A and B are shown apart, each in its own frame.
Chain A
Amino acid sequence: MAIRRGRGVAAINYPTGMNLGGDPTQALVHSTPTGNFMVTLSSVDLGQGMKQIMAQICAETIGVPTDHVVVDTADTDTGPHCMGTFASRGTHRAGNAVIQAAKEARQVMLEVAAEELEVNASDLETDGQGNILVKGAPQKSISIFDVALSAHFKRGRSISGRGMFLIPRSYPEKETGAMKPSTCYAHACTVAEVEVDDETGEVTVLTVKNVFEIGRALNPKMVEQQLVGGSWMGISHALYETTEPYYPNRDHGGTDFNQYLMPGPGDLAETEIIVLERPSADGPYGAKGPGEMCANPQIPAVANAVFDAVGVRIDTLPITPERILRALKAQAAN
């Protein structure tokens, strides 16, 4: 009986969004009378930071500071249609819709500014600080504040735009069944090192090293935060969490946080995160969906590390001490 050490590797390919019959998200953007911009969505911020990302995308497209944008989400009665925040689709689908809406709003904004400055709208540019300038003659400028006032009170224009992003339905090929569930894919690779006590079946994850390829990181600190939390969650899925330990038998399922186990702050593996940015062709400013895929590769990596350590292959999650001991017993009997 001994503590045995093992190392496992796993790589994954994860779709951004899914496609069950066309996958649309719509967005509306409009300016207030003082030149702030509202983004209206039905998409939900679950805490991953979608509001911040949509504000950045809108601000970048219109050419204003991010804090000039307010994002109003998640009233599905009154907001433009969204399929929902799931399948890691929020940034990609809603982001593309916001870009389209913001481009239309920007065009109206430039047209109003052009009338005020008596120039051609195509000769104007934004400085990102809340002003519109004549290209090559920046001394000739107008603030977006004044443009919005003019639009509302003088010119009778609505500085607004409509955005629509639709991944059309993909039908399976009759011969092969092949279809296109998504238009872009994130990737990850994890190496996990574990110790397995072959007397108790207990697994300790020592280190987990992850590389994530997530398109463009639109907010690098928030991406890192998501990936660190996701890596922990992957280990939690691999070794701890289940509502149905004897599925399909419902008995012995956890009923509260005393019984539903997750690793606490004292059970953390040494975690390394590396981000690779390969902008996606159809992503908003190159983004993909890092949401769910970041909690996936740890699971097969830990399973492979357990195999490397004690030579048993556990194919049911979570990899509990009981399952390891039963597998060791079966192995010894053979």
Chain B
Amino acid sequence: MAKVPVQFTLNGSEKAEFVESGTTLLNTLRDKIGDTSPKGGCQQGTCGACSVIVDGELRLSCLTLAETCNGVAITTTSGLAEGGVLHPLQRAFLDTFATQCGFCTPGMIMAAKVLLDHTPNPSREDVVEALSGNICRCTGYEPIIQAVLTAARANSQNAA
């Protein structure tokens, strides 16, 4: 099958790859580019572990074809830390023990980041709604909800 060129920015740096038509963005990020922070859980859009941010919106990378991503800006969890300093969401997930096996964590952080980008001071209901497409086996969700609320508070204190 003919390969298709695809170009986008990933966490601020330009990427260009030839992919087989039909390749998912998830497999392109993980296998071609080597960014393994998006996880392949169900591969059918029901678990949220593969979530990434495409042009500011949350996207399931396992259901997104790479060839539809020409010219977009993609953010993944591996691009959040700046100069070795963790993003406030990553810091909050650590501080509130919101991760156990860690497989759902990158997707949770992506979903939470899109929420906080649009709604800097979310209610608990906002957080629950934002995380409702992501599933977790270990934590019982409460520590994750608390992590997102903690990160939001840290952001608003820094802004003040």
Contacts and interface: CB of A to CB of B under 8 A. Distances in A.
Interface of A: 46-49, 221-222, 224-226, 228-233, 256-258, 262, 264-266, 268, 271
Contact of A264 (B135, B138, B143): B135
A258 B100 contact: no
B8 interface: no
Given A225-B139, A231-B140, A257-B135, A265 B128 contact: yes
B132 interface: yes
Nearest to B98: A225
Contacts of A226: 100
Given A48-B100, A265-B144, A268-B141, 16 more contacts: A47-B102, A47-B103, A48-B101, A225-B97, A225-B143, A228-B139, A228-B140, A228-B143, A229-B140, A229-B143, A232-B139, A256-B46, A264-B132, A265-B141, A266-B132, A268-B140
B47 interface: yes
Given A46-B101, A47-B101, A222-B97, A257 B139 contact: no
Given A225-B97, A229-B100, A256 B44 contact: yes
B85 to A, nearest CB: 20
A47 B136 CA distance: 12
Interface residues of B, number: 24
A229 B132 contact: no
Interface in B44-76: 44, 46-47
Contacts of B47: 257
A49 B102 CA distance: 11
B81 interface: no
A222 B102 CA distance: 14
A256 B128 contact: no
B142 interface: yes
A258 B127 CA distance: 21
Contacts of A232: 139-142
Contacts of B140: 228-233, 268, 271
Contacts of B100: 47-49, 225-226, 229
